[in-house]
């Protein structure tokens, strides 16, 4: 039976680890909005059929998109927002006036969180970015937006890293994933460090004493990378920080209401923070 109550969801593979249903569900409850938000496993092979079904479902308000679907989401949409085009990746799909639109709320979330770091005194002269996927693409757009001049990609797939460096006009040549990091900050845009994934064997000692680490991994909330950074006295942004920021923008798109950010303290407790 086709649902009649408005709903949104998060899709990807794997998906059981996602905290998005908890976040959106909490906001729906606080605001007494009729609707739901669930998770659904969708593989790359499944995505075209999934979107074909969702296009005809009037109750569907949209989907957040996680790995490995962010690049495919842009390709399969009828149109894309400026930030989704700039990133070449989307973390939101939704219907607007009969057309499937791809959007990217990751970019705005990263811009906001980098702004908080900078306001707190963190230097922003250069950054090492780990990864080449959809999250890394969003980070590259955000780094360009805030005007960080020196960005170096470190990746296992050097061909893809070189392609991204050219696409985003980076001056620094990519380096192998295991190369020593440089700059003032490190952004981990890979799934490494996530539950059931290998840890990042990354030496943070080259970062300055007032440097920073931005780890996009959400499970566990306190990754080994984050714990190492805290132990060194570095400023930290966690994957949960980013998840909530992008979720607030997504919630507005899906349910046409502002997320109740005045209740963040309660939300953090639910998220185990």
Q: Which positions are annotated as active-site residues?
A: 70
Structure tokens at 71: 């690049």
Pairing, β 92-96 against β 99-103: antiparallel
Q: What is the DSSP letter of 38?
A: E
At which residue do the structure tokens 């360009």 appear?
A: 144
Neighbours of 139 (CB within 10 A): 28
Q: Which residues contact 8 (CB under 8 A, 6 or more apart)?
A: 24, 35, 36, 37, 60, 61, 62, 63, 64, 250, 254, 255
At which residue do the structure tokens 């061909």 appear?
A: 159
Q: Which helix (H) or strand (E) holds 270?
A: helix 264-270
Residue 59 CA neighbour count, 13 Å, CB half: 12
Counted residue by residue, the chain has a size of 273
């Amino acid at each position: 039976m086709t649902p009649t109550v408005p709903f949104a969801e998060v899709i990807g593979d794997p998906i059981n680890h996602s905290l998005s249903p908890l976040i959106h569900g909490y906001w729906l409850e606080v605001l007494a909005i009729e609707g739901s938000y669930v998770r659904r496993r969708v593989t790359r092979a499944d995505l075209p059929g999934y979107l074909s079904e969702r296009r005809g479902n009037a109750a569907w308000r949209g989907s957040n998109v996680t790995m490995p679907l962010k690049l495919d989401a842009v390709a399969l949409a009828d149109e894309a927002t400026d930030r989704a085009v700039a990133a070449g990746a989307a973390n939101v799909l939704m219907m607007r006036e009969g057309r499937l639109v791809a959007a990217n709320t990751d970019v705005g979330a990263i811009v906001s969180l980098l702004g908080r770091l900078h306001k707190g005194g963190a230097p922003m002269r250069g950054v090492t970015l780990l990864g080449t996927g959809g999250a890394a693409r969003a980070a590259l757009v955000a780094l360009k937006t805030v005007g960080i001049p020196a960005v170096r990609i470190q990746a296992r797939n050097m061909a893809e890293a070189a392609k991204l460096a050219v696409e985003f006009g980076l001056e620094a040549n990519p380096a192998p994933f295991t190369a020593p990091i440089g700059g003032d900050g490190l952004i981990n845009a890979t799934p490494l460090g996530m539950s059931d994934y290998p840890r990042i064997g990354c030496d943070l000692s080259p970062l300055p004493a007032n440097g920073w680490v931005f780890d996009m991994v959400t499970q566990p909330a306190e990754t080994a990378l984050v714990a190492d950074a805290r132990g060194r006295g570095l400023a930290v942004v966690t994957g949960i920080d980013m998840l909530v920021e992008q979720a607030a923008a997504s919630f507005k798109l899906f349910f046409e209401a502002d997320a109740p950010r005045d209740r963040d303290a309660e939300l953090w407790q639910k998220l185990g923070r």
